[in-house]
Amino acid sequence: MINLYNVDCMEYMRGLPDKAFDLAIVDPPYGIGAADDTRFGVKTNKAGSVRTAYVRKAWDSATPPTEYFDELRRVSRDQIVWGANYFGLIGGMLFWHKNQTEYSSSSGELAYLSMATGVQYVDILWHGAYQQDMRNKEQRIHPTQKPVALYRWLLKNYAKPGDKILDTHGGSMSIAIACDIEGFDLDLCELDPDYFQAGKKRLEQHQSQPRMFAPEPPPKPEQLSIDPAA
């Protein structure tokens, strides 16, 4: 079952018992102004592709307080936290290579993995108008939207059958579509009413489509080896 809540995640988590979820997969604000329309507005690149214009919002003006991470660890047995480098999280890491080519964009993102050690690696194309699966191209409704394939990859590699999943910052709700495909129960919080309604509509559109063929499984994880002498 997938439950969507238009609520403040801190208020929601305070009402939960300890270890209510098996796995939290979250993408909280990085505090880098990603919701600033001057950075993520309509622009035309060299290929003539026009980017989506997003309504300017202030949700990415600061990182979550320490209390957020304390509550997250209290209500979930394991955590995958995107933006690990912005929060000073230490432990297992996942590097998602997005194949970004513009000088102003990161080539990838880091996620903290509470259940792993070392550095893992996944390569899923997500760059402007270009996506891993161009035949089933995803509509972007959020400035920091992540692809469904990435969340499917996380579920297949770090979640166990029967696990209950938590997402505190649902955004575009790509994770809800991934959980629907992979058969995981999910509780998702999204405070912004515009994102909530757009994400809910996106999930409903996905669920209304006939499923004649099973999607291709995401790639297996790779171990990223680092030479300390390099």
* Cβ–Cβ < 8 Å for 28, 168: yes
Structure-block tokens of residue 67: 């209390």
- Report the candidate in 124, 95, 112 with the shortest Cα–Cα distance to residue 223: 95
- Distance, in Å, from the CA atom of 37 to the CA atom of 56, rounded to the nearest integer, reads 5
Q: What is the pTM of this model?
A: 0.82
pLDDT for residue 44: 41
Q: Are 122 and 222 spatial neighbours (Cβ–Cβ below 8 Å)?
A: yes
**Domains, the chain, ordered by start:** 2-209 (3.40.50.150)
Instruction: Give the per-residue pLDDT at 41.
Output: 42
DSSP state of 19: T
Beta pairing, strands 92-97 & 108-113: antiparallel
pLDDT in tens, 88-115: 999 999 999 988 766 456 789 999 999 9
Residues 6+ away with beta carbon under 8 Å from 216: none
Instruction: Determine the pLDDT at residue 48.
Output: 45
Q: Are 177 and 201 in contact (CB under 8 A)?
A: no
- If one counts every other C-beta atom within 10 angstroms of the C-beta of residue 183, the result is 9
H helices of the chain, where? 9-14, 37-40, 66-75, 84-87, 148-158, 174-182, 193-208
Closest CA to 64 of 90, 37, 82, 39: 82
Render pLDDT for 12-46 as a digit per residue (tens, 0 to 9). 999 999 999 999 999 999 987 776 644 444 344 45
Q: Distances in Å between the alpha carbon of 144 and those of 13, 51, 172?
A: 23, 13, 8
| Length of the chain measured in residues | 230
Which residues of the chain are modeled with pLDDT < 50? 37-45, 47-50, 103, 212-213, 225-230
